[in-house]
Amino acid sequence: MASFGNAFVMPGLVLAAIIVMSSARLSSASGDIYGNYADRDEPSSISPNPNPSPSPSTTEDIGSSSSNFPDVLPLEPSQGYYRHLRKCADEISPLCAEQIFEGMFYSNEELTEDCCANLLHVGYDCHRGLVKLILLEPTFKGKASEALHKSFQIWSKCVVVVHHADSPSPTAAAVSN
């Protein structure tokens, strides 16, 4: 697994509202939500900017109570959607976020069992929404199809890993009876 250090990370899967992103840019993101892209080759519009100046007509400021979620986003597809995704992002551990992001964009390594449990705790709707949000970033739009597929594989593998870990082995069940 590559070491990424402190990274700029965006949560999410390609929102049906990708059209909104045609003129809007994501900026000022930090923390470890679904990865780290400090080492990627492509330039990104996501950068630490202490003084962002978004256009009120094209962005939504949802506050900066969390360092795990971008401060400025395109208009919400529905009221409260970004607040919901912020809560989702806050429940994902930085290590798990990095593993998910790496799995979607850089490697085929499996997530740890703890990360899978964390992902399933957050839930599929949160996972999918955060992946969609990541893919709104122009740098990742060209990788959307592969990243969506990999994010679904990650979720599916985590379901198997966690449910397998939760179910007692036949030997343990026989001993406990």
Is 176 among the domain residues? no
The number of folded domains in the chain is 1
Is 119 among the domain residues? yes
CA-to-CA dists, residue 99 to 26, 81, 169, angstroms: 22, 24, 28
What tokens were used for 102? Answer: 């790496």
Is 9 among the domain residues? no
Is 6 among the domain residues? no
Angle of helix 81-90 relative to helix 124-134, nearest 10 degrees, comes to: 100
Is 37 among the domain residues? yes
Is 12 among the domain residues? no
Is 146 among the domain residues? yes
In terms of pTM, does the model score above 0.85? no
User: 91: domain range?
Assistant: 18-167
For 8-31, write each residue's pLDDT tens digit.
333 332 222 222 232 233 333 323
Is 7 among the domain residues? no
For 39-67, write each residue's pLDDT tens digit.
444 433 332 333 333 333 334 444 444 44
Amino acid at residue number 173: A
